Amino acid sequence: MFLDLTEEQKLIQDTARDFAKAELEPMAAELDQSDDRTPLMINLKKLAELGFMGLNVKEQYGGTEAGVVAFSVAITEIARACASTAVTLSVNNMVCEVIQAVGNEEQKMAYIPKICSGEYAAGGFGLTESGAGSDPSGMSTQAVKDGDDYILNGSKIFITSAPYAGVFVVWAVTDKDAPKGKGISCFLIEGGTPGLIIGKEEHKMGQHASATNELIFDNCRVPASAMMGRLNDGFRIAVAELTGGRIGIGSLALGVGLAAMDCATRYSTERVQFGQKISNFQALQWMMADGYTELEASRLLLMSAAWRKENGKGFAKEASMAKLFATESANRACYSAMQMLGGYGYTRDYPIERYTRDARITSIYEGTSEIQRLIIAREILRNLT
């Protein structure tokens, strides 16, 4: 068994780390507080030029072909500096991968290179609706055939990068009489298409620099060629592609958790109370020990899931385990880190409060922890019944 990264994976990790430290970390706090996304756009373009938008995408579509392990370590390094940038990267990679997996050649050539090169700052993943969150098969956005076109009506919520996404993967009901989940199809819709309206931006607790908006379809007409994959096969596509996205979000959470623990541990070796460094106190040592142990376990779970996906093995259970454990661990690490800093941790003088806000969503989006447990249990029981 070999647990080390390859030389290429290490170089990608180093590049991500060096870039994050030099370009992202110095502005992460400001991006969190400001409404101006210009610096984020500049960074996304630079990251695209370095090849971070299509890590597991074939070279012929402008991707890097570096694999899923490289994707995971890159997202972790970026997230150590800026979770908002990392989530944009994760979703962009997921959108590229879904188009690569399901799209026809024309669709692949039309959109993947634009996301990989940074011509499109982002791609959008339009699945969630106000009435269809953990249960996406309950969606109500409809696509009705009209001659050679489809007309979409309805709305989506919580869509990452919506204001600056060049293309959206959108799911809509194409057969409302079909059994649940059997009448949904998947479409590729360009930003700026008439009838596609970017709705209100959510005022989130964290990951502020990454925009999260409503998408409204008001008689949005798209050609039938915008359909991706087979008619009424969309739900299966969504389920399959979300699995890969979980590795991305788990990797992001790991990065935030590590950033919090690193900051708090360093602080504990400088802060003096009762005449000594607070790192001398066992109470803090246990927080460090537990925090880093859980994060290391998260890393190994993520590496296992990523390696399985990269090598064509089943990875649904492993990706859910990794996402569940990494995101919950990151939240605990942030909680402990803030405790270690005491009152200072609760102020904006230190980045812990931002890490804590940024980490909180990770156990909610791309499948809540509860949904991950449901998937894990289903995968375990599937082999017994």
Partner 1 sequence: MKLLVCIKQVPDLESRFKPDAAGVWYNETDLAFRMNEYDEYAVEQAVQLREKLGEGTELTVLSIGPDRVVEAIKKSLAMGCDNAAHIQDQAASAKDPWQIASIIAAYAKDKAFDIIFTGMQSQDRGSAQVGVTIAEQLGFACTTTIVGFDYVDGTITAKRELEGGIKGVVKLKTPALVTCQLGLNVPRYPTLPNIMKAKKKEIVAIPVADLLTEESLTTTASFHPPAKKGGGIVLEGDVADLVEKVIAILKDKTTVLR
Of 105, 366, 370, 379, the catalytic one is 366
Is residue 318 flagged as an active site residue?
no
Binds partner 1 by CB under 8 A, chosen from 4, 7, 35, 177: 7
Residues 6+ apart with CB under 8 A from 97: 56, 57, 241, 244
Q: Does residue 65 interact with partner 1 by CB under 8 A? A: yes
Member of 43, 56, 64, 160 binding partner 1 (CB under 8 A): 64
How far is residue 72's CA from residue 335's CA, in Å, rounded to a whole number?
A: 24
Q: DSSP string covering 366-381, please?
A: TS-HHHHHHHHHHHHH
Min. distance of Cβ 167 from partner 1 in angstroms?
22
Q: 17 or 373: whose CB is closer to partner 1?
A: 17
Determine, following the binding rule CB under 8 A, whether residue 66 of this chain makes contact with partner 1.
yes
Total count of residues recorded for the chain? 385
Angstrom distances, CA of residue 373 to CA of 134, 237, 320, 332:
12, 21, 7, 18
CA distance 338 to 344: 8
| Both structure tokens of 131 | 């009435």
Question: Would you count residue 14 as binding partner 1 (CB under 8 A)?
Answer: yes
Closest alpha carbon to 88 in 210, 182, 176, 179: 210
- Which span sits near partner 1 by CB under 8 A: 12-20, 117-125, 212-220, 240-248? 12-20
Applying CB under 8 A, does 249 fall inside the site for partner 1?
Answer: no
User: Which of 24, 31, 52, 121 lies at the binding interface for partner 1 (CB under 8 A)?
Assistant: 52
Is residue 95 near partner 1 by the rule CB under 8 A?
Answer: no
Among 24, 37, 43, 51, binds partner 1 (CB under 8 A): 51
CA distances from 77 to 5, 167, 172, 310 (A): 14, 26, 35, 19
Residue 285 as a binder of partner 1 (CB under 8 A): the answer is no
With the C-alpha atoms ordered 267, 326, 20, 350, is the resulting torsion angle positive or negative? Answer: negative
Of the residues 18, 218, 296, 349, which one makes contact with partner 1 according to CB under 8 A: 18
Contact 150, 227 (CB under 8 A): yes
Q: Does 12 bind partner 1 (CB under 8 A)?
A: yes
Q: Does 278 bind partner 1 (CB under 8 A)?
A: no
Residue 198: strand pairing partners: 215
Which amino acid, residue 324?
Answer: L
Q: Is 4 in the site for partner 1 (CB under 8 A)?
A: no
Binding region for partner 1 (CB under 8 A) = 7-8, 10-12, 14-15, 18-19, 49-52, 55, 59, 64-66, 70
Residues with a known catalytic role: 366
